[in-house]
Structure 1
Amino acid sequence: MFLNLSFGLKIDTKHSKIYEIEGIIMSENYFSFAALSGIQGRKGNYLIQVPLKVLSKFLREENTQLPVEQRSQRILNKARVSQIVKYMVDNPDSYILPPLVAYISAGEVNFERFDGTVNLGRLKISLDADVRLFDGQHRRAAIEEAVKISKYLGDEYIAVMLYSNGSIEAAQQVFADININATKPAQSIKLLFNHRDRLNKVTREVIDSVPLFKEYVDYERTNLPSKSKMFFTFSGIYQVTKTMLKEEKISDNPEIIHTFWQEVSINIQQWANLGKLHIEPVELRDSFVHAHSVIWLAIAEVGCYLIKNRPTDWMQYVERLQHINWSRTDPQWQGRCVISGRISKARQNIILSSNLIFKNIGIPLPEANQQIEDTFVSVA
């Protein structure tokens, strides 16, 4: 039985021999990779390319039955593994996986430089070496599963940065360093950069078609600083667009979202005056509920209903938004989206806020909303 390795190598797993083809001398009992040597943190390392179908045999799996203090990795998050598997299988022509970082805690390692080079050579690692991960356990597990589903992926490679003379303590410290210092990107910029997502495209079109959005959307932040000159977030508009596209009539004609939000933007007085009369976003955030995504989502819920059930005259109901008192100190918002003086955007708050908007524009509550309203009123 043979396993294909990188750079024209084969392993005879039955006899533990490596046969290097293309005229390279046969040796025994080691993995052999072309490698780039380097230094980071005053420690030598090697960068190698490992075939995906060999990765699970090259890297030892963490024993999660051990006490946590004896492990270098956390327990696998199976949902996260499934996400990566789906990403690889669904995007075979464009998926990208960052390098894994591993260490050798036991076994023989030998680096032979190529003639005329300083840091290029062949790295030989004994087959019985204990190679474990510093970073990348979910990628490793996902790769193993993805190769089972799409066998052709097995012939592709992933970069592995490899350190020799590692230990559990060192691995734990690296894990801590990576995760303590890591900063997750804001949801807005993750959504913005995802060009595979149809909703991303529709959201961009909505923003471009509504002048207020185009001028006041922050594309990077999910939560705006109190003194930000922006008023909306890309992630917020993304979510309201997602809400509206669930309605079939809107999904079949997404351009109606552009018209809807253009009408909304001129019928909420403070929105219409934004940037005029010395009204700035910071003032609205402090004083009005419509400066927060819970109300944007509530308006989106109302919009879905109007476009579906009032297809010919929904605009006249949107015009009534100008008569609503949006002040966050107004008693009507208390318990709906203002809880103990703070804005809350849980699903319940979105529905209760949409209920109030329905009432103010003269639309009876949908049955599901009425049930939530009755419960709210009974305990208020």
Structure 2
Amino acid sequence: MDPNFQYIFPAIRGIQAKREYYVSMCPLHLIPKIFIWDEEVLPPELRAQRILNKSRVPEMARYLTEGPENYVFSAITASIDADVTFEAIGEESNNNQVGVLRVPMSARFIINDGQHRRAAIEMALHEQPDLGNETIAVVFFLDRGLTRCQQMFADLNRYAVRPSRSLGLLYDHRDEMASVAKLVALKSKAFKDVVEMEKSTLSARSRKLFTLSAIYTGTSALLSNIETESEEERASLAIEFWDEVDSHVPEWGLVRERKITSGEVRQDFIHSHGVALHALGKVGNELLRKQPRQWKTRLKKLATIDWSRSNSEFWEGRALVIGRVSKANQSVTLTTNILKKHLAIPLKPEEQEIEEAFLRGDDV
């Protein structure tokens, strides 16, 4: 290709590890054209990135197309395997870091971080071409070969820590169920002052009894396929349900009254763990849909359940696996089954099948 043909990016020049790098803004419609992804056929040792996980891309693309006025995408990081020229707009120190970056069109751009964003942008543009006029930040490093690119990928991800599910839900204002779960956590008597809003696991010394993520999962199961007119109405129904459950589980109230510690309850009982909340939500959903006028009466038998971990005949193989609490899908179903049987609620066909396999001792 003729070296006179160039990409020209407005850019800011910076220094890291005594090497120059450049920050620019690229229109979204250029991203799929400049950053060609063709490394899927290469083995890991010859790639500069992880292989593209195609299952993640449609969800990210929907995030763009369904929220065109409030999406946020972080910068793409790429290496350029060509000689580039940076022309500052001035000689003085205030101006010599701002200018234009000239890159030969023969250059190859290697994505160090952001290949899923690139793929999502390409998919979203097919549905909404107008997004192409918007921009995304791109950080350009100069290519120093495959080893350097692989090291950059490792370094960029070395200290990346995914936020806990509870914290993600706490800060999520798009997911309606997240908003409902937050209202439930804040307004329900059952959960007053005993919900960990940031962490998704609780230490033995934590003064909290539940996590926001567990309340979200249980409440999602509770309200599944139940039509309500508003978010507030959904929250109100969930609060009413969880407060009714609370009236039949005395240990929850004792923790709020500081008569026993949350650590003691979580160590000795099943009912405050995520698997129990999820199962209670599924049971509640069945009652709310099929017995909307009698569900509170049916829940009274919760008071006669021995929720203690030592009740292994009731919980082992269901909420407990070799004495440890399990949140696996199979554990949730088997815990739901035992609660339904105790409350005289018929099992669904798929639940009955899993129950029979469990009772036979099959691996389920």
Mark yes or no: TM-score above 0.5: yes
Paired amino acid for 1:239: T
Q: What's the C-alpha RMSD, in Å, of the aligned pairs?
A: 2.1
Cα displacement string for residues 325-370 of structure 1 (whole angstroms, at most 9, x for unaligned residues): 0011112111111111111122222222222223333444455433
Q: SS in structure 2 opposite 1:326?
A: coil
Residue matched to 1:267: 248
Matched, 1:80 2:62: no
Residue matched to 1:9: none
Cα displacement string for residues 61-95 of structure 1 (whole angstroms, at most 9, x for unaligned residues): 34322332222112111111222211111111111
Residue matched to 2:322: 340
- Structure 1's 245 and 363: CA in aligned 2 closer, same or farther, altered over 3 A? closer
Cα displacement string for residues 26-46 of structure 1 (whole angstroms, at most 9, x for unaligned residues): xx4111121111112322111
Paired amino acid for 1:138: H
- Asked whether the 8 Å contact 1:37–1:47 carries over to 2, the reply is yes
Matched, 1:70 2:46: yes
CA–CA distance in structure 2, aligned partners of residues 359 and 129 of structure 1 = 67
Q: SS in structure 2 opposite 1:316?
A: helix
CA–CA distance in structure 1, aligned partners of residues 326 and 317 of structure 2 = 9
Residue matched to 2:142: 164
CA–CA distance in structure 2, aligned partners of residues 245 and 353 of structure 1 = 18
Paired amino acid for 2:322: S
Residue matched to 1:282: 263
Q: 1:369 aligns with which of 351, 359, 364?
A: 351
How many residues in Structure 1 have an aligned counterpart in Structure 2? 355
- Asked whether the 8 Å contact 2:192–2:256 carries over to 1, the reply is no
CA–CA distance in structure 2, aligned partners of residues 141 and 247 of structure 1 = 33
Residue 165 of structure 1 deviates from its aligned partner by: 4.1
- Asked whether the 8 Å contact 2:209–2:272 carries over to 1, the reply is yes
- Asked whether the 8 Å contact 2:275–2:331 carries over to 1, the reply is yes
Q: 2:332 aligns with which of 331, 334, 350?
A: 350
Matched, 1:55 2:36: no
Structure 1 unmatched ranges of 5 or more:
1-14, 18-27
Give runs of ≥4 in structure 1 deviating > 6 Å. Answer: none
Matched, 1:325 2:306: yes
Paired amino acid for 1:48: S
Structure 2 unmatched ranges of 5 or more:
none
CA–CA distance in structure 1, aligned partners of residues 206 and 288 of structure 2 = 33
Question: As a proportion of its length, which structure holds more strand?
Answer: 1
Residue matched to 1:155: 133
CA–CA distance in structure 1, aligned partners of residues 330 and 180 of structure 2 = 26
Q: Equivalent pairs: percent with the same residue?
A: 34
Q: 1:201 aligns with which of 165, 170, 179?
A: 179
Residue matched to 1:244: 222
Q: TM-score, normalised by structure 1?
A: 0.87
Q: TM-score, normalised by structure 2?
A: 0.91
- Asked whether the 8 Å contact 2:39–2:51 carries over to 1, the reply is no
Q: 1:114 aligns with which of 50, 71, 89?
A: 89
- Structure 1's 33 and 367: CA in aligned 2 closer, same or farther, altered over 3 A? closer
Paired amino acid for 2:321: I
Larger Rg: 1
Q: SS in structure 2 opposite 1:154?
A: helix
